[in-house]
Structure 1
Amino acid sequence: MRLRSTSLLLGLSLSCVSLIACGDSGGDDGNDEIGTDGSDTADTTSEDTTSDTTTTDTTDTTDTTDTTDTTDTTDTTDTTDTTDTTDTTTTDGDCQVWEITYELTDSEFEISNTPLNAGNQVNVVAEPYDADDHVGPGQFVLRFQDVNGDPGGMAALVSYDMSLHFAVSSPGATVTTDLETDSGPDECGVTTGTLAGDTVAWNPGTFPVHSVGQILCMGNFCMLGGLPNGTPVPQDETNDQPLDDFVFSGDLTSFSMDKTVISMDMNSTVTWTYEGSEVSRQMVPGPACLCP
């Protein structure tokens, strides 16, 4: 009995407590022109006229004052700094694609073929999520090319999320799994395929899944499965998880994936069966890798 890691924490056998774990930014031009100081001064003329008979001493004095008019002329040059700002608006993405989110209620994470069937359990994605044989919630986000106003053509698995919190009990041990698993997001897809009729065959037929959390075994038989009794075992790894074809309804509002073996060894077989139901659909900017 031993602890084994693959693309998820996949399974455990509780008769021998075997565990399968897995993953996956202007200035003033102050030209002071002082007016021309033209001092025009007229001479004072004195005219002395003497007559033989009558002597008249006439002094004609003209006092002419030339007042200098000084004009301070400021030539102000108004410089306007005009900035031509061009507002360029760009649209993210090279094309528009369809993004559809599917929740995974009724999908099944199954552990089987354990010794004496002691660790066998079907864990269903369903509420309440804290029930011992329930897992979830979980979802897939897929993107499709736009084909005449409808999703079609190339498909990309952009992201995946699934909570795995369940417990399996048998005489002598109880193993509790607490994991968060995810893949992506990747705008070009962690794997891609083409919608042919109602089916997408993924290429590659695996996708990287990161698994983080812990498993805890309680009981005297824990050591038989390579797990310490009462001490959590941390999990943090990324591994490739097998992925089979997705078969869609005609309007792509739902899909299913047949039971697919995730891991298999002498102590257990672990499988996923996916059932997806659409919860949202929208057009979003797509990268060049998804454009026709």
Structure 2
Amino acid sequence: MSTLPAAVIPPAFRHLVDDAAIFPPGLAPLPDAVQAHVAHLASGYADLVGPFIVDAARLDELVPLAPSGFAASVVVPDADAVDEVVRRAAGSIALAGLEVKLVGGALVPQVEAVAAAAPEDVPTYVEVPRPTHEEWPAVLRAVARGGLRLKFRTGGTEAAAFPSEAEVATWITAAVAAGVAFKCTAGLHHAVRHTGPDTGFEHHGYLNVLLATARAAGGADTGTVEDALRERSGATVAAGLDDLSDTERAAARAAFTSYGSCSVLEPLEDLRDLHLLTPGTETA
């Protein structure tokens, strides 16, 4: 195996990147993705890596490929499928999380059904469809009551899938105020906000989200949170994170738990380029 880059991962970035290699735009073959994930976990940057992400339809395909103790978070198509997915995962993989999509219609009953079906020791996220302006406060209260977490979709394969800075700022501010943790999925290909060179899509940056969450946790208003999401200077975002206290960084990560990325190495390279990592011992 070739030498992989190594680095000391600071607490603010530990287990920040969930391995979504099999999802767009990466679409890695499942056997290759599993092998690469095992290599990531044996590398000198393993502390950056969160669980492997698999959709429920491919869970049975994953099981014979996964080594003992392999941890995965499963994307569940709807609230009614939670029980079945938990049964299928039992004894086969280490269930690191559930990520349940809510479908159109009454959302609060779906949240309540997920809360009733999900194991208490498994972090469980619900993805609320956009837009949910009228239902959002009630859904947020139901998520908090049920001890669940939120999953925010921050991009996709078309421009309309990318929410604005104002929309994401509203999500983050409301979630932090309610004491509800969240993860993000899709579109966060790099650390800092940028325009996709091939598509023209406006991508949020994962460090922008982290800084915005720290601002929200510190009591900032939605406009200030939005400003953190809008910033395009890597040096400015990195300086903002450097200026946070350890307590502020910990509060931000308690709220923003992770994000799904089809690449683990790209986020690592961005952190290196922004001088946010300390070089470590190379690992073969």
Q: TM-score range by the shorter chain?
A: under 0.3
Between structure 1 and structure 2, the one with the greater Rg is 1
Structure showing the higher strand proportion among its residues = 1
Structure showing the higher helix proportion among its residues = 2
Give the TM-score, by structure 2 length: 0.20
